[in-house]
Chains A and B, each alone.
Chain A
């Protein structure tokens, strides 16, 4: 199975900061990568699909980039509601694996 490695596990930042989360795949997944945001006790919400396509209704401060094995999620100016946990997921193979998650905390 394809392994996904996210970094960092925890990120401390302030409102207004630009933050970047990285996701690495154990083999090439082309652009078949999605990013999700999860709030405590809630279902994950799709933010980005196909590495860089913004899901409808998601604020434009979220962006994704990358292809092959290395990908990034960037939040251009962190807002109070963005202090959540983020996951990447590859869907290049039928076994869709997730990264271990990145918790964005208030500094």
Chain B
């Protein structure tokens, strides 16, 4: 069974850092681009970042560029999101998901909650 499990969400103060992890299983992780998507409380989905299969290309939403870093460890079947200089508007559930290219994005993990409060 294809499975994605996020971890690392926490309650932090503005300006602090946090690293999210996503453990993948049930598929050949290194064959797929991977993505982080977030959803603020009561709001819609926002694509945050994606990383190519070999990690050589990374893409970010404008609000995350320069503060967030997406990375992966294909040997450990793991995806990461390093988030620095966190702001209140980064408060959201963060989902990791498998990007199937032409086949859309599926599946998604259950999400991990990041709360930035002062």
List chain A positions with a Cβ less than 8 A from chain B.
1, 32, 34, 36, 38, 42-46, 48-50, 53, 55, 87, 89, 91, 94-101
Contacts and interface: CB of A to CB of B under 8 A. Distances in A.
Contacts of A50: 102-104
B108 A94 contact: no
Given A44-B108, A87-B44, A101-B44, A49 B102 contact: yes
- Classify chain B's interface size: 20 to 34
B103 A44 contact: no
Contact of B45 (A32, A49, A98): A98
Contacts of B71: none
Nearest to A42: B110
Q: Describe A's contact surface by its main secondary structure.
A: loop
Interface-centre pick from B97, B100, B103 (highest chain A CB count, 10 A): B103
Interface of B: 35, 37, 44-47, 50, 57, 59-62, 95, 97, 99-111
**7 closest pairs, A vs B, by CB?**
A49-B104, A34-B104, A43-B108, A46-B106, A94-B59, A101-B44, A98-B45
Contacts, number: 69
A101 B47 CA distance: 13
20 contacts: A38-B45, A43-B107, A43-B108, A45-B108, A46-B106, A49-B100, A49-B103, A49-B104, A53-B103, A55-B106, A89-B45, A89-B47, A89-B104, A91-B101, A95-B59, A96-B35, A96-B47, A98-B37, A98-B46, A99-B44
Interface centre among B59, B61, B108, B109 (most CB of A within 10 A): B108
Nearest to B102: A50
Contacts of A1: 61-62
Contacts of B46: 98
Contacts of B45: 36, 38, 44, 87, 89, 98, 101
A5 to B, nearest CB: 12
